[in-house]
Chain A
Amino acid sequence: MKPRVLLYGSPQQPGLHQVYQLLQARERVRATYLTQEQFPRSTRMLVTLGQELPPGFITDVDGVPIAFNEVNTFCVDTFYVARQAFEDVAEGEQGFAQAESWAALMSAFESLSAYCLVVNQLSRRDALASRYSELCTLAGAGFSVPRMLVTSNPEAARQFYQSLRGQVVLKPVGGRPPFRRMNEGDLERLDRIRLAPIHFEEITSGSTARLLVAGDNVLSLPEGVDIPSELAAKARSMCHGLQLWLAEVGVRPMDDGWQATGMRTFVSPETLAQPGVAGVVCPLLEEGLEAFAPAV
């Protein structure tokens, strides 16, 4: 029987869905797509702990259980449990139901990792929870990054703006809301940042390239771009340290060397469209743990 690849996500994650379609077209595995909007109303699950109990399962769209020990590779990018799933639950219980469902899914993904390759593990997603933590992670891995300041100190913000001659964007620290360009008017309101810290970041420009980490392989994209091999090694080491087996690191050549501009988990549709990418991503998912050296 062909190996099984399970994908869990949403139509709002085109990269994940495109990978599913590629796997189906190649016909080397049984690929099953589970839509997160169906959970927990139409998807049943079981996670087991204790030596005597059989492996857990999750049901497909037809309600057929897929045992965790039959899965070769499990793919998940970001996920959420929609509060709308609990509209008929008492209002005071909706938040609880949502938290319980989220924790149950986390435990299912953890349980799957005992049997198969999980692309990507979610336990260290804090490293990418905000632009600020993303840049700190990249800098900690040895990449040069755009200048950034997170502060609740008006004077420090003013100095940052002036030192970069106004080439600054700003946003709240948490989550991933869009940046906006900082302007002279903001300088007049800087005392307000005492109310909550703000993320300030240098505007950089120029052509970008990316490093795609797919298991042990690192591809430089677009084809033909000459990214130094030590950057590829840093990207692989960082991603593996975060248990990201499929991820992208954006890089840009600057006057004083290469700069990392950001990273994303999984693989984007734009990257999948590049020549040679599908031929690296699909075998990783088809082979599962066998794609790696024994250390994984």
Chain B
Amino acid sequence: MILVLGSLAEPMIGTVFDTLRSRGRLVVHVSPSDLPAAVRLEVALPGHDARLLRSDGVVLSLQQVGAIYQRVGFVDFQQITGYTPTEAQFVNSECLAALNPLLNLVPCLVVNRPHAVTAAACRPWQLSRIEQAGLRVPETIVTNDPLQVEDFIERHGRKVVYKSNSPMRLNNLGEIPARAVWPVLLQQRVPGTDVRVHVVGERTFASLWRDSPDTLPAQPGLSAQLDLQCRQAVAALGLSLACLHLRVDDNGEAWCLGVDPSPPFSRYESRTRQPITAALCDLLENAERHGTGG
């Protein structure tokens, strides 16, 4: 059995569920926003018996599940009307606190485990792992030392980007603060062409990134070495599915600017026609058949 855990408002959840079902797999969908009342969660020790009890009477034992695709993220869990904002926040944090350890510890493949997604959301941490895996990353500093900031800007002829360390703000932050109290992340600006590489298990899908939704992006081939480095980087982050943000400079050298550990791949798929959903379903099916955890 394969469990798809996420909101149907996200297109990836629906397409993965439909694809697996069309392949004749036993697949169950659970919307986290139905927890904790419409879908009840139960975890018992000893025996590690974790079960989801749906209101339609279906009892789903996680011991029977061979693979999970989840996009729980920061979903709003089910709330009875009349909750104060504080109570609603409590319900959300409690449901996450109940669900995440389950997804972190269940022995089957989980795409992706919450702890890996959380860790990879820390930008300098992910860049460090990516660099250790062999991909080239632009020179980057994290510092609250004004002298280091000045030196770094000087070193790169002011061609520097200011980004966030945490996932709270994803885009470039604009002007570098003259004197930040907290450590800032500065990165060497690398001119070139943006390439997105979706890694799904051992498969990669590269496409040129353009902001315009009207054009069909080209799909550059990756060298065997770059392909391997991309897969190694994602594995080093403990992920089975991720989107690497590469920039290819004028010399054809690829630099990794970061990774999205929970990529909304359907919007790429609809534009590139790359079979990312099919690859993800292959991965889940294969894990279910062969009992390969993750």
**Given A194-B37, A195-B37, are A49 and B145 also a contact pair (CB < 8 Å)?**
no
A124 at interface, CB cutoff 8 A? yes
Given A127-B104, A145-B45, also A49-B137 (CB < 8 A): yes
Which residue of chain A has the shortest Cβ distance to B44 in the bound complex?
A149
B46 in contact with A144 (CB, 8 Å): yes
List the interface of chain A (C-beta within 8 A of B): 40-41, 44-50, 52-53, 56, 85-86, 89, 95-104, 106-108, 110-111, 114, 123-124, 126-127, 129-130, 132-133, 135-137, 139-140, 144-153, 156, 160, 172-175, 194-197
Interface residues contributed by chain B, number (CB under 8 Å):
60
Most A-side CB within 10 Å, residue of B104, B123, B138, B169 = B104
Q: Which of A45, A48, A110, A111 lies in contact with B144, CB distance below 8 A?
A: A45
B184 at the interface (CB under 8 A from A): yes
A99-B94 contact, Cβ under 8 Å, with A49-B140, A148-B44: no
Chief secondary structure at chain B's binding surface: mixed
Q: Which of B40, B96, B97, B124 contacts A107 (CB 8 A)?
A: B124
In the assembled complex, how far is the CB of residue B35 from the closest CB belonging to chain A, in whole angstroms?
Answer: 7
From B125, B127, B182, contact of A101 by CB (8 A)? B182
Return the contact of B97 from the options A101, A124, A132 (Cβ within 8 A): A132
The residue on A at minimum CB distance from B140 is A49
Q: B167-194 interface mask toward A, CB cutoff 8 Å, 1 = contact, 0 = none?
A: 0110000000000011111001000000
* B98 on the A face (CB < 8 A): yes
A47 contacts B45, C-beta separation under 8 Å: no
Given A49-B124, A50-B137, A107-B124, answer yes or no on A96-B41 (Cβ-Cβ < 8 Å). Answer: no
Residue of B nearest to A135 (CB): B45
Kindly state whether residue B139 has any CB partner on chain A within 8 Å.
yes
Q: In the complex, what residues of B have CB within 8 A of residue A197's CB?
A: 36, 41, 94-95, 98
Of all chain A residues, which has the CB nearest B104?
A: A126
Find chain A residues with CB under 8 A from B141 CB. 46-49, 53
B40, B131, B139, B142 — most chain A CB neighbours (10 Å): B142
B119 contacts partner chain A, Cβ-Cβ < 8 Å: yes
By the criterion CB–CB under 8 Å, are B94 and A174 in contact? yes
Which of B36, B105, B131, B168 contacts A133, CB < 8 Å? Answer: B105
B37→A50 contact, CB < 8 A: no
Residues of B contacting A106 with CB < 8 Å?
122, 124-125
Q: Can you list 24 A-B contacts with CB-CB less than 8 angstroms, sorted by A residue number?
A: A40-B144, A45-B145, A45-B183, A46-B142, A48-B139, A99-B165, A100-B166, A100-B182, A101-B182, A101-B183, A103-B123, A103-B166, A104-B124, A104-B185, A126-B118, A133-B104, A147-B44, A147-B45, A150-B44, A151-B42, A173-B94, A194-B40, A195-B36, A197-B94
Are A100 and B43 in contact, with the CB atoms below 8 A?
no
Residues 93-117 of B contacting A (Cβ, < 8 Å): 93-98, 100-102, 104-105, 114-115
Interface centre among B48, B90, B128, B182 (most CB of A within 10 A): B182
Nearest CB in chain A: distance from B151 CB, A:
10
> Of residues B41, B138, B181, which shows the largest number of chain A Cβ atoms within 10 Å of its Cβ?
B181
Determine if A104 and B104 form an interchain contact, defined as CB atoms under 8 angstroms apart.
Answer: no
Give the docked Cα–Cα distance between A124 and B188 (Å). 30
Given A53-B139, A96-B166, A152-B42, 14 more pairs with CB closer than 8 A = A45-B145, A132-B98, A133-B101, A139-B48, A145-B46, A150-B41, A150-B42, A151-B41, A151-B43, A153-B41, A173-B98, A194-B37, A196-B95, A197-B36
